[in-house]
Structure 1
Amino acid sequence: MTQDGRRTGRDETEEERADRMWVELIQEVRVAQTGVQILFGFLLTVVFQQKYAQLGPADQSIYIGTVVVGACATGALIGPVSLHRLVAGRRVKPQAVRLASRMTSVGLIMLLVTMASSVLLILRVATRDGYVPYLVAAVVVWYLVCWYGLPLWARRRHPADASDRQERR
């Protein structure tokens, strides 16, 4: 039961809800982790390619920034696993779920930046054309629509009832 003795619409206690939300969060993180780890692994190999030495200072700066943000995204998206390991059994699952959710959100934003800057670097090297920033902007808009626009639209279209909103606080 919740703190005031009510049960949620799913008829689950706070602990049961935290358990369910944890499992859902970890499933979501698995998808993002795989993508960020593959991208980060690819980024780490770029510096060892012969063509890297031919990059101009701007492209090398974009690369370095991309690697740093990619490393941070990897850390944020793997963070929930470490969090769970370190607090397991301490009866703080609802708080851990909230913190892991925040880490995941930050990791997704960093992943967006990593992907956008990777696309920018690749297109700059591949084409050297002036339309590259417009292509990158279009990719970023697409990510924003898929990752935030459509989910927020669905959330607004199907709002949670008052008891769900109260329980999330």
Structure 2
Amino acid sequence: MDDTRNETPLERADRNFAELLQELRVLQTGVQILFAFLLTLAFTPRFPSLDSVQRGIYVVTLLLAVCAAMLLIAPAAVHRVLFGRGVKRLIVEVSARLAGCGMSLLALAFTGSVLLIGDVVVGRAAGFAVAGGVLAGCVGLWAAMPWRLRRRSARRW
């Protein structure tokens, strides 16, 4: 924990929430683009030719994107309802958990969309291989690397 900022607990909570909102802005763009892509996909000429597995992947991926969007937007609703009640730290804690869950579902939605496109374009086996790489990349960059950096920084301080 960094106590060199000389801030009150309320100032720290305000700063943490502002930083979380910046993170959510980045995530929201990704989920919006993915969701828009998935919504339009169902209206393309090739969509009716998808087999039942591909349609299943599509529906699951669409639902994952919707759920990710809901989780990433939820901190705004939490803040709106609890604003001015003196519970900023609670807002930050709950919002951070919602964002983490939203990122997890966004990683799965990215994976599903790549799986679907890979399946259609290069075949099912290759689609699964590429999707596995996407999931590994998300887990590595969004979870494993930050956790490793957190452990490393804890040893230094």
Given the two structures, how large is their TM-score scaled by the length of structure 1? Answer: 0.87
Instruction: Give the distance between the partners of 1:108 and 1:19, measured in 2 at CA.
Output: 22
Q: Does residue 16 of structure 1 match 2:11?
A: yes
Deviations 1:62-109 (A, max 9, x none): 000011111000000011111111111111100000000000000000
Number of the residue aligned with 2:126: 131
Q: Aligned residues, how many? A: 156
Q: 1:67 aligns with which of 58, 62, 67?
A: 62
**Aligned residue among 108, 116, 121 for 1:113:** 108
Identity of aligned pairs, percent?
A: 37
The alpha carbon displacement at 1:128 in A equals: 1.5
Amino acid at match of 1:156: R
Residue type of the alignment partner of 2:56: S
* Structure 2 portions without partners, runs of 5+: none
How far has the Cα of 1:130 moved from its partner?
2.4
Counterpart of 1:114, as a letter, is A
2:150 to 152, 155, 160: 155
Q: Which among 12, 25, 29 is matched to residue 34 of structure 1?
A: 29
Q: CA deviation at 1:149?
A: 1.4
Deviation at 1:8, TM superposition (A): 3.4
* Counterpart residue number, 1:167: none
Tell me the equivalent position of 1:4.
none
Instruction: Tell which deviates more after alignment, 118-127 or 82-91.
Output: 82-91
Equivalent in the alignment of 1:56? 51
- What is the match of residue 46 of structure 1? 41
For structure 1, the 5+ residue unaligned runs are 1-6, 163-169
Distance 1:142 1:67 in 2: 20
1:94 aligns with 2:84: no
Distance change in 2, residues 1:121/1:83 (3 Å): same
Answer with 1 or 2: which has the greater Rg: 1
Aligned-partner SS, 2:46: helix
